[in-house]
Amino acid sequence: MTRKRFFLATPFALVACLALFPGCGDPDQPGDGPAKGESASNGKTLPKGGGTTLASGSGLDAELSKQVNDALAKGRSYLLGQQDDKGGFGDTESKIPGNVAYTAMAAHGIIAATPKTNVGTDKAIVNALRFVAGFAQENGSIVDNPKITNYCTGVSVSALAAAKIAEFAKVQAAGGAYLADSQIADTMEDLSYGGFPYKQHKGQSADASNALIATSALDANGLPKDSPVRKRVGVYADKVQNRSESNTAEVKVTIDGEERVVVSGVDGGAIYRPGESKAGMIKRPDGKWELRSYGSMTYAVLKLMLFSGRSPDDERVKALVRWISNNWTVERNPGFEAADDPEKAGQQGLFYYLYSMARALSAYEKATGKPLVVTDADGRQHNWRAEIARELLSRQNADGSWRNAKAERWDEGNKTLASAFAMQTLGHLTGRLK
């Protein structure tokens, strides 16, 4: 399978829409290629002393819980100021008009900041979900931009499921059915088998980021535990994990005119999709290339494996947990250390990173049936909920919004989307969102 790298100049409006994909770029474009200045090595040595378990621990104390609640209230006030008279959300600073993706994400964030007993009668939430539902199509998808059909449908179904408003039950159910049917399931030889494309289009590749969005929606919509969709997701998750024992695929890619053979690494982390990592590549002594694992996709793939029914005792899950332990941080998206500017590169997708972290660790905790903390490479234990919460609190702006001012890539420079990510994450930390 060969992908060629090219660049395409696009009008701002299209760029704004395509930038909605967290943890990635244009779904029809190939990867970033290797970071400049990286050394040739086989990348096969794990960091020393990495903890391999997530032990029991506590949640948020009373004072931190109060601070989170206050932050959510301020975030809600900010987002309400972005809502248009049709109920939609865009981004006023970036001049992005109201659209399905932003509206579903913002509504979900507002739901996280609203007492559950008030959600069904909250005017802003109801109007936002009516805006979203107004774009429901005959095939069940919920979309206003066909380039990102599954993304729009996924975030919409998740928001509708979080609201639990009877008025939208049929739209939610149809959206969930559409997502399940959109899974790539023709042949297991397809590198995208078990994943989800950004639109229903034969030959389009899947990626771990979009799979996280789709499977989160399917979980929220009540996909049966014995659904074959779940098992197929597990097959895809294996293909995006750097674990050579379970990932034996070789992918041919073309980077700047050079054909490269890409194979799995052994650090246990995860990548964006077969043959592509946003963190670049490492050349091995044998001339083949390994993709660098990075944080947001490692958490996404942990969530995918748990969605597929894998046990926390599965060796593939353990390998992901080991990578998380060895690379624990809430201050940056780890895995970009070989970039020209590691500090800036590590801030890319930071809000999506924390969003995927909270979802994955919540799911892991549920799977083990125990509360947990993370043990890092130095043996130190971390209260993951408290650390994520404090990091997000420290990044909230005076107006109640969040914005990734250090790295605006993947649309996190837009306050509406960044705020929605932050508020949903805080909702998962506090149990307001399940």
Is there a domain that residue 33 lies in?
no
Any idea what the CATH number is for the domain that residue 62 is in?
Answer: 1.50.10.20
Calpha distance 122→140 (Å, rounded): 25
Residue 185 has pLDDT above 90, yes or no: yes
Residue 50 has pLDDT above 80, yes or no: no
Range of the domain at 292: 39-430
Is there a domain that residue 286 lies in?
yes
Residue 99 has which token pair? 């659209």
Q: Mean pLDDT, to the nearest integer, of 14-42?
A: 36
* Measured CA distances, 276 to 7, 30, 332 (Å): 16, 7, 21
Element (H, E) at 323: helix 315-326
Q: Mean pLDDT, to the nearest integer, of 310-318?
A: 97
Calpha distance 138→329 (Å, rounded): 44
Residue 59 has a pLDDT of 78
Q: How many domains does the chain have?
A: 1
- Name the pLDDT band for 13 (thresholds 50, 70, 90): very low
pLDDT one-digit tens code per residue, 195-226 = 998 876 556 789 999 999 999 999 999 999 99
Is there a domain that residue 75 lies in?
yes
Q: Mean pLDDT, to the nearest integer, of 21-45?
A: 35
Nearest by Cα to 152 from 160, 224, 433: 160
Burial-class residue 239 by CB neighbours within 10 Å (0-12, 13-18, 19+).
buried
Contact 391, 429 (CB under 8 A): no
Amino acid in the structure at residue 289: W
Question: For the whole model, what pTM was predicted?
Answer: 0.87
Burial-class residue 407 by CB neighbours within 10 Å (0-12, 13-18, 19+).
buried
CA angle 52, 54, 155 (to 5 degrees): 110
Contact 348, 336 (CB under 8 A): yes
For residue 136, the SS3 value is strand
Residue 285 has pLDDT above 60, yes or no: yes
Calpha distance 98→90 (Å, rounded): 4
Calpha distance 119→198 (Å, rounded): 30
Calpha distance 123→102 (Å, rounded): 18
Count of beta carbons in the 10 Å neighbourhood of residue 187: 7
pLDDT one-digit tens code per residue, 130-179 = 999 999 999 999 999 999 999 999 999 999 999 999 999 999 999 999 99
Is there a domain that residue 255 lies in?
yes
For residue 252, the SS3 value is strand
Is there a domain that residue 193 lies in?
yes
Residue 9 has pLDDT above 50, yes or no: no
Q: Mean pLDDT, to the nearest integer, of 253-258?
A: 92
Is there a domain that residue 23 lies in?
no
pLDDT one-digit tens code per residue, 357-414 = 999 999 999 999 988 889 999 999 999 999 999 999 999 999 999 999 887 788 899 9
Residue 29 has pLDDT above 80, yes or no: no
- Name the pLDDT band for 303 (thresholds 50, 70, 90): very high
Residue 7 has pLDDT above 80, yes or no: no
Residue 258 has which token pair? 């050079």
Amino acid in the structure at residue 60: L
Contact 211, 232 (CB under 8 A): no
| Residue with tokens 């070989």, as numbered in its chain | 338
Residue 92 has a pLDDT of 84
Residue 202 has a pLDDT of 59
Is there a domain that residue 146 lies in?
yes
For residue 113, the SS3 value is coil
Q: Which residue has the higher pLDDT, 252 or 50?
A: 252
pLDDT one-digit tens code per residue, 65-75 = 999 999 999 99
Is there a domain that residue 31 lies in?
no
Q: Which residue has the higher pLDDT, 3 or 205?
A: 205
Is the backbone of residue 111 left (phi > 0), alpha (psi -120 to 50) or beta? alpha
